[in-house]
């Protein structure tokens, strides 16, 4: 090779990791990786020697992970090389937002030492869904997990993947394992032999299979050392080096031409995300057109004179008119949230024993239920009777439209505006509603989700987030509630029911059951909560709501800027929509162009408002249920024979499925709005539909055609009956006329699933419900 060839060119001709390590030593390059090699060796060796290495902490909505067993020096290396701010400062903006980390896989040897017979199953179940923000998570994602996925592949193949791969797939998987074992120079042929495809694994008994797995783990602990870790680094670098020179002209290639998703992880894991460090390693100079953003511009919200920081500097930001309109939209929503809070506070402050509970004042779940709506203590849409009608209408105006992530060019109807409003208000509303309901159900029964002593633990995630944003809950609240609890009266049976049911001619069954309990003294708990809620509101509500819109809109602005930093141009509306979803729907009524204006960017989208949705969602869903052939169903507990029992179960299942399809008809209409045409099964979700399609037709496609026809025909009938007309033209499906149910039929289906309470056409005695009568 030419003496003038760079280190990288010479490295590109190598195929063996050991040769690359030798070349690095000869050329003085090994020192670049000394710290990372030491860190990775410490983590890998501890894990393979059966020490717990990764600690997983479950959280809501994401988990957190930490690597344990590192001294101060290694912690410093970890933070310097793998912290997200440090990697961002080197131009690495490509991290996925969320990742799934197989923490159980890294801890497999440790789990095996404790629970050998169940280790592979336990390890497979231990996964973390994390935001990729901490240095521990970045190291696991970029380096450690890929290593253990390859090293421990035999345990997957002889564990949870048993019987799930074809012969050809198994051979491919074993070839991948052989490749890494050869590259790392691990001599474990004898220990692997029994586990290989065709090695007689199925002829071994359970004890022998367990012993074979333990022998392989012992071999890995014995064979892997500091040099092995260096070989692994070289194994990961060789494809990156090869791709660089495959894309290079005159030794120069741009980063975005070279980096694939796997190679982004390699750059992050072994070069701290630093493209220029990679070039120094290769002995090459940056491409003249290379541009690396090492910092993002500060997001200035609602500033009309901002400009797009992109490769086209002449592009102008949003006009002052657009920014003004966007600001007004946020201000309107903040004003309405304040108005709702006032009513919410008043309703809870005057709550007294003997009144119905306030479960239902804050909407919780999207969609409608056309039959059973929950326990007696829950009142669906309670807000409609407790809030002023003008406030209800304003909530439905401001949160009545939304953007679906796949269709940012359409503003469609929101199925549940009051749920979207509650989501916009966020954790403070959830916390104060939850605390008040806990106090109510502790006192008035029948049962509470937690007790007074457990409140702080139950809401620990919400409390931590409120503290983080500078709006903490005074811990004295929980202390005073515990003190007030000591003044409650003793538990008293809420009610006792004695019932007798004839189960056969001449035979009856009498049962007496206490239905929960209550304790006097609710007013004491209520007044403590009211005092603290109002003190919190006076001090923090204004700043809390400001932080809500600033954080969500600012987060969208950050993602937009990161995309520009990484790709050199703004993201498309579809690319941006997944990061903009919350801010657009919470503060701008689903209008993506308003968000662009708020963050000072030229709008890449001009969404169209489309509205087909009937105003009364529940009446519409009930009509769809009727037109699909749904009817009230009351399952009898006593039947004459097994055939009748089977027929009854089948009919109940059919009605349940028709009920689910009727409730989902609102989503069908929403998809129609987004698509501008009648949805296809794949748009709706083929698996969910096909699970219920037999209730309409044995053929899934025929069932879909029938379902679409019924929904469209019902929508047309509702519109003709006086509903507001659609804002755009709407193609209709071929009409379908379903059998007419008996006069007076009520709607009482339930979603399928064993965990759903049975729905009935009218309230029944609890004992008859228990017995299925």
In the predicted structure, residue 735 carries a pLDDT above the cut 50: no
Reported as a single tens digit per residue, the pLDDT across 527-545 is 999 999 999 999 999 999 9
In the predicted structure, residue 568 carries a pLDDT above the cut 90: no
Give the global pTM. 0.76
Query: How many H helices and E strands in the chain?
Result: 36, 11
Angstrom distance (rounded) from CA 504 to CA 316: 82
Lowest-confidence range among 7-16, 145-154, 369-378, 443-452?
A: 369-378
Instruction: Tell me phi and psi for residue 61, to 5 degrees.
Output: -90, -5
Q: What is the DSSP string of 745-770?
A: PPP----SSTTSPPP-SS---HHHHH
Q: What pLDDT, on the 0 to 100 scale, is given for residue 501?
A: 55
Angstrom distance (rounded) from CA 226 to CA 44: 9
In the predicted structure, residue 315 carries a pLDDT above the cut 60: no
Lowest-confidence range among 33-37, 564-568, 571-575?
A: 564-568
Q: What pLDDT, on the 0 to 100 scale, is given for residue 726?
A: 53
CB 396 within 8 A of CB 417: yes
In the predicted structure, residue 600 carries a pLDDT above the cut 60: yes
Reported as a single tens digit per residue, the pLDDT across 388-442 is 999 999 999 999 999 999 999 999 999 999 999 999 999 999 999 999 999 999 9
CB 494 within 8 A of CB 515: yes
Q: What pLDDT, on the 0 to 100 scale, is given for residue 672?
A: 96
| pLDDT tier, 754 (very low <50, low <70, confident <90, very high otherwise) | very low
Stretch 10-32: mean pLDDT, rounded?
95
Stretch 574-595: mean pLDDT, rounded?
96
Considering only CA atoms, which of 145, 157, 76, 70 is closest in space to residue 120? 157
Angstrom distance (rounded) from CA 668 to CA 412: 12
CB 66 within 8 A of CB 136: yes
Reported as a single tens digit per residue, the pLDDT across 320-341 is 788 999 999 999 999 999 999 9
Stretch 682-687: mean pLDDT, rounded?
95
Reported as a single tens digit per residue, the pLDDT across 92-132 is 988 888 899 999 999 999 999 999 989 988 998 899 999 99
Stretch 736-758: mean pLDDT, rounded?
33
Reported as a single tens digit per residue, the pLDDT across 447-506 is 888 999 999 999 998 999 999 999 999 999 999 999 999 999 998 887 655 555 555 555
Angle between helix 226-247 and 275-282 (nearest 10): 90
Reported as a single tens digit per residue, the pLDDT across 605-643 is 899 999 989 999 999 999 999 999 998 876 665 556 777
In the predicted structure, residue 739 carries a pLDDT above the cut 90: no
Query: How many other β-carbons are positioned within 10 Å of the β-carbon of residue 323?
Result: 23
In the predicted structure, residue 663 carries a pLDDT above the cut 90: yes
Q: Where are the alpha helices (DSSP H) in 599-641?
A: 617-627
Angstrom distance (rounded) from CA 298 to CA 65: 29
Q: What pLDDT, on the 0 to 100 scale, is given for residue 314?
A: 31
Angstrom distance (rounded) from CA 308 to CA 319: 13
Q: What pLDDT, on the 0 to 100 scale, is given for residue 161?
A: 72
* Mean pLDDT computed over every residue of the chain: 86
Considering only CA atoms, which of 481, 587, 600, 568 is closest in space to residue 531? 481
**Better pLDDT: 290 or 73:** 73
Reported as a single tens digit per residue, the pLDDT across 393-403 is 999 999 999 99
Q: Which two tokens stand for residue 697?
A: 């037709």
Q: Integer distance in angstroms from the first to the last C-alpha of the chain?
A: 88
Q: What pLDDT, on the 0 to 100 scale, is given for residue 721?
A: 59
Reported as a single tens digit per residue, the pLDDT across 227-255 is 999 999 999 999 999 999 999 988 899 99
Question: Within its chain, how far is the Cα of 247 from the centroid?
Answer: 37
| pLDDT tier, 1 (very low <50, low <70, confident <90, very high otherwise) | very low
Stretch 6-10: mean pLDDT, rounded?
94
Stretch 724-751: mean pLDDT, rounded?
36
In the predicted structure, residue 153 carries a pLDDT above the cut 90: yes
CB 239 within 8 A of CB 180: no
Q: What pLDDT, on the 0 to 100 scale, is given for residue 507?
A: 58
Reported as a single tens digit per residue, the pLDDT across 194-206 is 999 888 888 999 9
| pLDDT tier, 764 (very low <50, low <70, confident <90, very high otherwise) | very low
Longest dimension (CA), the chain: 106
């Amino acid at each position: 090779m030419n003496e003038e060839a760079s280190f990288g060119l010479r490295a590109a001709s190598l195929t063996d990791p050991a040769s690359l390590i030798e070349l690095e030593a000869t050329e003085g390059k090994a020192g670049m990786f000394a710290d990372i090699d030491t860190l990775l060796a410490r983590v890998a060796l501890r894990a393979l020697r059966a020490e717990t290495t990764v600690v997983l902490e479950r959280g809501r909505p994401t988990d957190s992970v930490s690597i344990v067993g590192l001294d101060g020096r290694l912690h410093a290396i970890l933070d310097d090389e793998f912290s997200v701010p440090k990697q961002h400062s080197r131009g690495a903006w490509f991290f996925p937002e969320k990742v799934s980390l197989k923490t159980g896989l890294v801890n497999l040897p440790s789990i095996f030492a404790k629970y050998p017979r169940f280790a592979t199953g336990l390890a497979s179940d231990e996964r973390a869904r994390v935001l990729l923000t901490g240095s521990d998570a970045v190291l696991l994602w970029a380096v450690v997990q890929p290593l253990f996925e390859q090293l421990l592949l035999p345990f997957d193949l002889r564990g949870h993947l048993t019987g799930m791969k074809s012969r050809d797939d198994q051979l491919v998987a074993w070839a991948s394992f052989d490749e890494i074992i050869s590259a790392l120079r691990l001599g474990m042929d004898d220990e692997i032999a029994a586990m290989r495809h065709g090695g007689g694994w199925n002829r071994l008994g359970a004890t022998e299979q367990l012993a074979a797995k333990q022998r392989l783990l012992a071999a890995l602990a014995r064979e892997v050392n500091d040099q092995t870790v260096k070989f692994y680094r070289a194994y990961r670098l060789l494809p990156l080096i090869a791709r660089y020179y495959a894309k290079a002209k005159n030794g120069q290639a741009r980063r975005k031409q070279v980096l694939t998703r796997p190679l982004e992880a390699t750059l992050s894991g072994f070069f701290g995300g630093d493209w220029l460090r990679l070039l120094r390693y290769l002995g090459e100079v940056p491409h003249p057109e290379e541009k690396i953003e090492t910092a993002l511009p500060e997001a200035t919200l609602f500033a009309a004179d901002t400009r797009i920081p992109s490769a086209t500097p002449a592009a102008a930001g949003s006009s002052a008119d657009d920014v003004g309109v966007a600001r007004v939209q946020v201000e309107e929503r903040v004003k309405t949230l304040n108005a709702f809070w006032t009513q919410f506070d008043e309703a809870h402050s005057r709550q007294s024993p003997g009144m119905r509970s306030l479960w239902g004042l804050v909407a919780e779940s999207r969609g409608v239920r056309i039959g059973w709506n929950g326990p007696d203590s829950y009142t669906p849409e309670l807000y409609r009777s407790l809030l002023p009608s003008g406030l209800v209408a304003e909530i439905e105006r401001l949160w009545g439209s939304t953007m679906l992530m796949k269709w940012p060019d359409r503003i469609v109807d929101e199925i549940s505006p009051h749920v979207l409003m509650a989501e916009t208000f966020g954790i403070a509303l959830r916390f104060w509603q939850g605390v008040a309901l806990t106090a109510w159900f502790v006192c008035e029964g029948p049962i509470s989700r937690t007790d007074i002593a457990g409140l702080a633990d139950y809401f620990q995630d919400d409390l931590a987030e409120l503290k983080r944003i500078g709006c903490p809950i005074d811990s004295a609240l929980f202390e005073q509630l515990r003190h007030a609890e000591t003044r409650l009266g003793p538990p008293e049976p809420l009610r006792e029911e004695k019932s007798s049911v004839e189960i056969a001619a001449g035979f009856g069954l009498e049962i007496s059951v206490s239905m929960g309990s209550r304790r006097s003294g609710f007013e004491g708990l209520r007044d403590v909560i009211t005092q603290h809620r109002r003190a919190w509101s006076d001090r923090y509500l204004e700043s809390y709501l400001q932080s809500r819109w600033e954080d969500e809109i600012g987060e969208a602005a950050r993602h937009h800027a990161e995309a520009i930093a990484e790709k050199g141009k703004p993201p498309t509306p579809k690319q941006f929509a997944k990061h903009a979803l919350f801010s657009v729907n919470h503060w701008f009524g689903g209008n993506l162009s308003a968000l662009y204006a708020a963050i000072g960017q030229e709008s890449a989208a001009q969404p169209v408002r489309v509205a087909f949705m009937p105003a009364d969602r529940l009446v519409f869903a009930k009509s769809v249920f009727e037109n699909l052939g749904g009817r009230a169903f009351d399952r009898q507990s006593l039947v004459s024979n097994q055939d009748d029992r089977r027929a009854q179960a089948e009919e109940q299942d059919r009605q349940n499925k028709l009920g689910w399809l009727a409730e989902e008809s609102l989503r069908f209409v929403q998809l129609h709005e987004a698509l501008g045409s009648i949805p296809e099964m794949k748009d709706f979700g083929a698996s969910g539909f096909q699970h219920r399609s037999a209730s309409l037709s044995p053929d899934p496609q025929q069932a879909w055609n029938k379902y679409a026809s019924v929904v469209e025909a019902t929508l047309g009938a509702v519109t003709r009956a006086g509903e507001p007309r659609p804002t755009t033209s709407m193609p209709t499906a071929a009409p379908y006329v379903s059998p007419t149910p008996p006069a007076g039929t009520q709607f009482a289906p339930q979603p399928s699933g064993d965990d759903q309470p049975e729905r009935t056409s009218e309230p029944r005695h609890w004992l008859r419900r228990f017995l299925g009568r």
